[in-house]
C-alpha cells in the first residue's frame, strides 16, 4: 500500500536566536497586547528573569516550582494568577517551569510564552502533567500548548554538562519513542531522524566545550524537533515506563529517561526494522543500539536506576503500574516477565544488548 496517514501540526510560533531572548520576548508580549504578565522562573533564574522582563508589564514573579507538578503546587500558582489578574504567562526554565505554566493555562486558558533552558521539550507539546498522591496523570489539551517558544542558547550555558547530557537524552527518547508511538507517522519519523542527528552532534559538542554556543544551539534545535515528533506520535512504551517511575518514586525526569532509553531500544528495535534502520542511519552507525550506546559512552550518560531512587523491591509495583498503560500497539508484546527483565537490567545498568530476545 502507498502512504496512508493523518498528521496534526500544532500551531505555535518558534523564535530562535542566541542572545535574542529579551528582544524576542518584548516583541511577543507587545503582540499579545498583554498588560499583566506572570513570570514563572525558579529562584536560580531570578536574575535572568528580571533582566529579560525589566521593561515588561510584569505583575508577578513566581518561583514556587516543583518537579512533576504536584496538584498543590498547581493550585497555588493558579490562585496567584487569579489574584493578580494575570493576562499572559511567561515561563523560563526547564520542563518543571513549563509544566507549571501549563497547569495554570489548563485552568485559566491564559496564553503561554515559553523560554526553555533544558532539552525536555515540554514547550512544544500540548501535553500537561500533574501529580496527585504519588500518581502522575497526563492529558492533552490545546490550552497548554505555548503560543510562542523562544530559544536562546545563551540561557542554557549555565546548564551543567551532566544535566545537559541527561536532558539531551530525554529529547533523544522523544525521537526514538515517536518512531513506534501510537500515532507514529512519516512526518514524525522525519522530524525524529533530524532530531537524533542534531542531538548526536550537539551533545558531544557540549561536553567537549561546555561554554561553546554551537553545541547548545544544536541541542535546542534537536530538542524542539524531538518534542514536535513526540507530541504528534504520542507516548510509546519508553514514556509510559518513565512516567510511572517519575511520578511514583519522584525520580529525576531527565536522568530516568536517559537511563531507561537503551533498554527500551534493545527491547523494541529487533521487532521494528524500519525504526531500527532509521535510528541507525541518523546515528550513522551499523545498528540503532550501537549508535545510541556509542553516544552514551562518549557522554558518560546516566547508567542505572538504582542511582536515582529506585530499588529492586520497587520492581513488582512498577510492573503492575506500567502494564495497564502499555500502548495497545508496541513492536514487541510486553509481559510482566519481559518488563521485569527490562527494569531489572535498567536498575543495575547491565548491558542492554543482553536483554532476552522474544520467545518464539
Ligand atoms: N508535558 C510535556 O510534554 C513534557 C515533556 C518533557 C518533560 N516534561 C516534564 O518536565 C519536567 C522535567 O523537566 P526537566 O528535565 O527540564 O527538569 P527541571 O525543569 O526540573 O530542571 C532540572 C534541574 O535543572 C535546573 N536547570 C534548568 N535549567 C537550567 C540552566 N539553564 N542552568 C542550570 N540549571 C538549570 C533546574 O533548576 C532543576 O534543578 C518533568 O516534570 C516532566 O514530566 C513534560
Ligand atoms: O508533563 C508531563 O509530565 C507529561 C509528559 C512528559 O513528561 C513527557 C516526558 O515523559 O518526557
Interface confidence (ipTM) of the complex: 0.96
The minimum-distance atom of ligand 2 relative to the CA of 128 is: 1
Residue 253 CA: which ligand is closest?
1
Query: Ligand 2 mean position to 54 CA, how many Å?
Result: 31
To 10 degrees, the CA torsion angle through 7, 283, 152, 258? 90
CATH number listed for the domain at residues 161-354: 1.20.1090.10
Nearest Cα residue to 122 out of 95, 96, 101, 140: 95
**Ligand 2, atom 1: closest residue by C-alpha:** 129
Q: Which of 46, 163, 165 to mutate to test the pocket of ligand 1 (most atoms within 8 A of CB)?
A: 163
**Ligand 1, atom 11: closest residue by C-alpha:** 95
Domain locations in the chain as residue ranges: 13-156, 161-354
Question: In the block, which residue shows the cell 499572559?
Answer: 88
Evaluate if pTM is beyond 0.95: yes
3-state secondary structure of 302: coil
Instruction: Check pocket membership of 237 for ligand 2, CB cut-off 6 A.
Output: no
Instruction: Check pocket membership of 127 for ligand 2, CB cut-off 6 A.
Output: yes
Answer for the pair 279, 269: CB distance below 8 angstroms, yes or no.
yes
**Ligand 2, atom 2: closest residue by C-alpha:** 129
Question: 192: which residues sit within 8 A by CB, 6+ positions away?
Answer: 174, 175, 176, 178, 179, 225, 226, 229, 233, 278, 282
DSSP letter (8 states) at residue 37: E
Q: SS3 sequence, 144-179?
A: HCCCEEEECHHHHCCCCHHHHHHHHHHHHHHHHHHC
Neighbours of 285 (CB within 10 A): 17
CATH number listed for the domain at residues 13-156: 3.40.50.1970
Entry field: residues in the chain: 360
Question: 62: which residues sit within 8 A by CB, 6+ positions away?
Answer: 38, 39, 40, 41, 77, 80, 100
pLDDT along the chain (360 residues), means of 10: 91 98 98 98 97 97 96 98 98 98 98 98 97 91 98 98 98 98 97 98 98 98 98 97 94 97 98 98 98 98 98 98 96 98 98 72
Residue 173 CA: which ligand is closest?
2
Amino acid at each position: 500500500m502507498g502512504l496512508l496517514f493523518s498528521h496534526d501540526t500544532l500551531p505555535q510560533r518558534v523564535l530562535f536566536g542566541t542572545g535574542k531572548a529579551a528582544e524576542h520576548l518584548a516583541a511577543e508580549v507587545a503582540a499579545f497586547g498583554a498588560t499583566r504578565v506572570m513570570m514563572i522562573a525558579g529562584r536560580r533564574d531570578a536574575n535572568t528573569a528580571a533582566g529579560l522582563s525589566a521593561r515588561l508589564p510584569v505583575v508577578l514573579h513566581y518561583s514556587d516550582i516543583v518537579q512533576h507538578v504536584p496538584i498543590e503546587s498547581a493550585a497555588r500558582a493558579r490562585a496567584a494568577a487569579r489574584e493578580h489578574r494575570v493576562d499572559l504567562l511567561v515561563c523560563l526554565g526547564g520542563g518543571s517551569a513549563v509544566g507549571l505554566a501549563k497547569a495554570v493555562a489548563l485552568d485559566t486558558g491564559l496564553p503561554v510564552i515559553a523560554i526553555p533552558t533544558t532539552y525536555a521539550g515540554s514547550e512544544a507539546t500540548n501535553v500537561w502533567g500533574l501529580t496527585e498522591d504519588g500518581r502522575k496523570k497526563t492529558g492533552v489539551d490545546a490550552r497548554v500548548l505555548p503560543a510562542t517558544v523562544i530559544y536562546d542558547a545563551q540561557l542554557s550555558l549555565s546548564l551543567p554538562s551532566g544535566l545537559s547530557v541527561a536532558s539531551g537524552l530525554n529529547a533523544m527518547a522523544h525521537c526514538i519513542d515517536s518512531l513506534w508511538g501510537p500515532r507514529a507517522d512519516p512526518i514524525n519519523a522525519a522530524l525524529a531522524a533530524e532530531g537524533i542527528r542534531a542531538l548526536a552532534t550537539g551533545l558531544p559538542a557540549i561536553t567537549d566545550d561546555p561554554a561553546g554556543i554551537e553545541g547548545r544551539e544544536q541541542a535546542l534545535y534537536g530538542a524542539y524537533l524531538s518534542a514536535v515528533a513526540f507530541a504528534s506520535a504520542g507516548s510509546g512504551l519508553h514514556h509510559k515506563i518513565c512516567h510511572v517511575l517519575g511520578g511514583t518514586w519522584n525520580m529525576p525526569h531527565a536522568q530516568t529517561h536517559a537511563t531507561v532509553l537503551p533498554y527500551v531500544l534493545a527491547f523494541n528495535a529487533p521487532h521494528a526494522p524500519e525504526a531500527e534502520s532509521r535510528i541507525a542511519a541518523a546515528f550513522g552507525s551499523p545498528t540503532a543500539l550501537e549508535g545510541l550506546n556509542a553516544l552514551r559512552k562518549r557522554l558518560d550518560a546516566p547508567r542505572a536506576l538504582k542511582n536515582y531512587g529506585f530499588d529492586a523491591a520497587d520492581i513488582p509495583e512498577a510492573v503492575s503500574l506500567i502494564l495497564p498503560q502499555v500502548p495497545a500497539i508496541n513492536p514487541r508484546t510486553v509481559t510482566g516477565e519481559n518488563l521485569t527483565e527490562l527494569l531489572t537490567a535498567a536498575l543495575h545498568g547491565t548491558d542492554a544488548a543482553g536483554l532476552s530476545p522474544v520467545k518464539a
